[in-house]
């Protein structure tokens, strides 16, 4: 596919994505929204399928991202090591906090400190 065709296809997909967003946020049934906007219901579903396939294709080809995370100077390495070595500070086996964003998953103990959690959230915000 040449560059012009690729650009046309991308523009068309963006228009379809905007229509899907409008339909989903309208609060109307899909058939009703299509009727009001002059879009054939089958055309709407075909476009939705194409967009979903495109998203899956992009997700499969996307390489995992490395998320930069800075640790506050208030948490020293030795203090963190001491906390990890203290059996009383270990989390209960099945109690954890799981954060997910853009295919990244982080499992944290339930009793994670607020400061550490804020640092991680700031790092995830950059994704």
Tens of pLDDT, residues 52-103: 998 888 776 655 566 666 555 444 444 444 444 444 554 445 567 777 766 7
Number of Cβ within 10 Å of residue 19's Cβ equals 19
Contact criterion met (CB below 8 Å) for 104 and 116: no
Q: Are 127 and 67 in contact (CB under 8 A)?
A: yes
Q: Say what the pLDDT of residue 45 is.
A: 95
Distance of CA 16 to the CA centre of its chain: 21
| Assigned token pair, 12 | 């068309």
| Reported pTM | 0.47
Q: What is the pLDDT of residue 75?
A: 46
């Amino acid at each position: 596919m040449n560059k012009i065709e690729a650009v046309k296809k991308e523009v068309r997909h963006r228009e379809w994505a905007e229509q899907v967003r409008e339909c989903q946020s309208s609060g109307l049934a899909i058939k009703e929204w299509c009727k009001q906007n002059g879009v054939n219901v089958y055309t709407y579903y075909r476009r939705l399928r194409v967009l979903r396939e495109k998203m899956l294709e992009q997700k499969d080809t996307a390489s995992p991202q490395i998320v930069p995370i800075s640790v506050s100077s208030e948490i020293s390495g030795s203090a963190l090591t001491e906390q990890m070595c203290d059996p009383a500070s270990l989390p209960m086996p099945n109690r954890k906090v799981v954060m997910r964003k853009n295919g990244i998953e982080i499992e944290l103990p339930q009793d994670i400190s607020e400061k550490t959690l804020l640092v991680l959230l700031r790092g995830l915000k950059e994704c």
